[in-house]
Amino acid sequence: MPHLNETLYFIVNPMAGNEESMKVWKKAEEMLKSQGVPYEVFFTREKGHALRLTKEILSGTNQETRVIAVGGDGTINEMVNGAIRFPHAIIGALAAGSGNDYVRGVQKTKSVEEALSLFQENACRFVDIGQFETDGRVGYFMNSLGMGIDAEISFESDRSLLKKWFNFVKAGKLIYLFIFLKKLFKYEPSCMELIVDGNRHLLKKVWFIVIANQPYFGGGMKISPMSKPDDGRLNVIAVHDISWLKLLSVFITVLWGGHLHIKNVDAFSGETMKMKNYGSVKIQSDGEIVGMDEVAVEVLKEKIRVMFKDDS
């Protein structure tokens, strides 16, 4: 496939992956320079900056523009929320965070070299994204949105000093599992109402409900094996009415997607969802806390273009 000669725009989150992102960027920059690839780079300073930078870059162009995150799923999430109104945007990422589920499940590149080669080719496609509304706020997710213990884990892992240590020893994805084990005995499941395409389900003792646009979350856990980001639907996984001991088996088998065979691990699929929690619990969108207790979600079909490795 012939290489393009477009300027690539990189948004680097220097704090991602315990600053592993800067090592990834330096390696990428050396390759870009040696290959004579035109590029511009921007560095984020705080949460929300990647969103603003994405808008600024895309506001200044009127042709197809490739914007690439150097960071984790949180950086990609901000980029997607910034690019949503710009039809000429094409999104990509260099994996440099703790989880990197976007690169694993959507882009499907395995290395910096493979990703940089992809960014210079004309390999892109439209994918779906999820839109949510909670407490008057509207936002978008590429990977997943969840309510329950998964959101509580996301909240704590984002603030945990242990996250830096896990990233330092190249085991960033294990922070999710570590905090899950820590919270397992403290978390109190609650009743939730789930409505999928108008069909109402009242679930008791819900540990979590995840709405997924692609298979992976939590740093490689195959939470929703049937999810495809371009099928016009979102998949829902609800885990309820099980003991903490059985929940442990869910989190073991989720590594390869075997949890769907466990009783009271229910799977749904649809275009619109509503979740309401009868208690008090957080809501996460691509690992970022966005609200509490009640949320409406819908799929936006073929809403944004991404660069991807075609496995076919």
Contact by Cβ (8 Å): 12, 25? yes
The whole-angstrom separation of Cα 109 and Cα 93 is: 9
The whole-angstrom separation of Cα 38 and Cα 16 is: 24
Cα angle at 250 between 249 and 253, to 5 degrees?
A: 80
CB burial of residue 280 (10 Å; 0-12, 13-18, 19+): exposed
Pairing outcome for strands 190-196 and 288-292: unpaired
Give Cα 93 to chain centroid, integer Å: 12
Residue length, the chain? Answer: 312
The whole-angstrom separation of Cα 180 and Cα 233 is: 28
pLDDT for the residue numbered 17: 66
- Three-state SS at 126: strand
Among residues of the chain, what percentage have pLDDT more than 70? 90
pLDDT for the residue numbered 165: 47
Contact by Cβ (8 Å): 245, 268? no
pLDDT tens by residue, 249-262: 888 888 788 888 88
The whole-angstrom separation of Cα 233 and Cα 292 is: 24
Amino acid present at 297: V
Q: Domains of the chain by range and CATH?
A: 8-122 (3.40.50.10330), 132-301 (2.60.200.40)
pLDDT for the residue numbered 264: 92
pTM of the model: 0.90
Burial 189-199 (b: 16+ CB within 10 A, else e): bbebebbbeee
* Higher pLDDT pick, 149 / 270: 270
Q: Is the pLDDT of residue 211 over 50?
A: yes
pLDDT for the residue numbered 184: 76
**If you average pLDDT over residues 298-312, what whole number do you get?**
89
* 3 confidence band (pLDDT: 50, 70, 90): low
pLDDT tens by residue, 91-138: 999 988 777 899 999 999 999 999 999 999 888 999 999 999 999 999
pLDDT for the residue numbered 312: 56
Q: Is the pLDDT of residue 294 over 50?
A: yes
pLDDT for the residue numbered 102: 94
Question: Residue 271 has which token pair?
Answer: 């275009």
Where helices occur in 71-211 by DSSP H, the ranges are: 73-83, 101-102, 112-119, 149-159, 162-168, 174-183
